[in-house]
Structure 1
Amino acid sequence: RIVVGPDFDQQFTAQEQALILQHEHSHRRNGDHWANGVLLLMRAVFWFHPLLPWAARRFLRDQELACDARTIAPQPALRGLYASTLLKAQLVHPVAPAVCHWRSQPVLKERIAMLKQSKRKALPWVSGQVLVVGLCLGVGAVAWASQGGAMAAGPTVAVMDREIRVDKMPPPSYPKSAFEQSQTGVVVLRVDVDAQGAVSDVRVVSATNPGVFEAVSIAAARSWTYRPALKNGKPVAGAVRIPITFAMDESDEVTETAR
């Protein structure tokens, strides 16, 4: 069932109504409501995972872009009307953002910009598929070769009894300027830990919003408490990668997650 707001037939023309309903019917035919249900279940079960909020936003963004493409593909002449309907929908009555993403403001500009693009050509798509298959085969070959090398090494190979553990991880402070500008990001750190469990070095592997969250992430990682890795029953130096997600929920409260 598709639920529309009050005065839907008065606020939108017949053509605009038809485009909105076609968009929602496309969601239904494609099974997006089931996919969203699975997403909600995953967010409930894996609520602690630092990358899940970012992945959920990307999933919903791509879902809306794909639905726009399916809706407008049979009628490319209506792209202008479709874009104006998206803009007009921002000015009418509010809708429930948890179940309807037609008015997704953060990606509105990108959705309208994508309407200008023509249908992709077959050659780049085929080339991309060949590249993905080639990468998968290459990674599989490397993994198989490394496994064979490990087996050939025999019983003399040292056994890692325990990886590095982090006992206490107080979350980093959210930068004031980033909070005021509603900036979010993910920082991946490489933390080197010596055999005594002390931090010897902290480096930034990647950052989705460079120059904003690196400093507070490094400061937090240096203050955490670590247990060194154990190899053959003895503590040894090692390194661990730690992703830190800086995100805000719908009520603009800061959520800081470290894993």
Structure 2
Amino acid sequence: MTSELIEALLRANLAVSAAVMVVLALRSPAARLFGAQTAYALWSLVPLAWAGSLLPARTAAPGDSLAAQAPAFDPQWAQAAGVAWLTGVAVALALFGLAQLRFWILQRKGRAGPAVAGVFFPRLVLPKDFRSRYTGPEQALIRAHEAAHLERGDLRVNALMAAFQAVNWFNPLVHVAAARARLDQELACDETVLAARPTARRAYAEALLKTQLAACRPPLGCQWLGRGRHPLETRIARLAAAAPAESRRLGGALTAATLALTAGVAAWSAQPARPAPEPRVIIVQAPPVMHVLLAGPDALPPVVLPPRP
């Protein structure tokens, strides 16, 4: 059982790594052509590729040389790898838990936010100097941004993303993907807010420049990513871009959905086929004759043997 689990994890992470490389190559062109929301939607390729690689493989035809063979892992090595993987999962979950705890401690001190945090009971987190730091229009833009996160269910997405990182902790591309996906998530929210308020770009940029976030980001939350040169510069630079037309956004959504389904199907079809089950032989003795029944997909008609002497 451990050998099969390790083999499934390795196979799934090969599919995940390929999907991450594809998204990293496409996210910037997709943002320019279709908008930030399409670039963010492209990250659905990664979990669908992971899930597709774990679905039961197709059954091989008799004599198919491409059928999957039994795992070749040494049992002791597989057991050690399983223990190491479970240990890594536990450590990753503990680190995420500590990061979330640090965020709540900062929140109680009034030093966290603007952000929304929580999964089952999400709430808006604002710094204690929120009203003095931001003007009235800037406060409205920040609240609209956080409301966009809540409407799209980004908090649940981020919780699943953290769980995905914990399960696949040994794959560095998974952590790169999580960081880029959260940035694209913020850019998609920026685009949503400014699409409804096209004249508020200057106020939005000023709100970003005023934001000084804590060094701790909540795994179970969404915040403005204002601290750090690359995220802040990227977000401000994107504010100058005009919102894509409705037809272009629709085309981007269809493109992202098609690519995501393709990734899942490709990951599933890339698996080696399972060997076809061999027919089971069931012998039923009922004097004066013995019936041999063959059960299975390649079952033969019952064979009647002569009675025993």
Q: TM-score, normalised by structure 2?
A: 0.40
More helix by share: 2
Q: TM-score, normalised by structure 1?
A: 0.47
More strand by share: 1
- Larger Rg belongs to: 2
